[in-house]
Amino acid sequence: MRSAHSSPMLRTPLTALKLQIQGAIGDGSLQVDHATLAKIDGRLNRLIHLAQQLLSMAREDAAREAAIAPMSLRSICEARRRFLAARGG
């Protein structure tokens, strides 16, 4: 479940960094050539996508864990005994 908390914490700063870079280029305080900007933008987009994938996977894992109901060993053994008795074994 740790990644469920980590993904938004990772994604938010990455998105903020992307916006800050875009703002700095827009106001002229950061001078970069088009190729460098394209590399930075592409890498940030991949990192943001990865963070979103991690969040999705964590949500799926949490849903699977929630779907598994705890069961006592005694009730499993009793169900097995009833099953075998019904089959004549």
* Whole-number pLDDT of residue 89: 62
Domain chopping of the chain, boundaries: 2-87
Could you report the per-residue pLDDT of 21-80, keeping only the tens digit for each?
A: 989 889 999 888 989 989 998 999 998 888 888 888 888 888 887 777 777 889 889 999
The full 3-state SS of the chain, as one line of letters, equals CHHHHHHHHHHHHHHHHHHHHHHHHHHCCCCCCHHHHHHHHHHHHHHHHHHHHHHHHHHHHHHHHHHCCCCCHHHHHHHHHHHHHHHCC
Instruction: Supply the pTM of this predicted model.
Output: 0.58
**Which of the pair, 43 or 5, is modelled with greater confidence?**
43
At position 60, the amino acid (one-letter code) is E
**Would you state the structure tokens that stand for residue 89, as one six-digit string?**
């074994």
pLDDT at 3 over 70: no
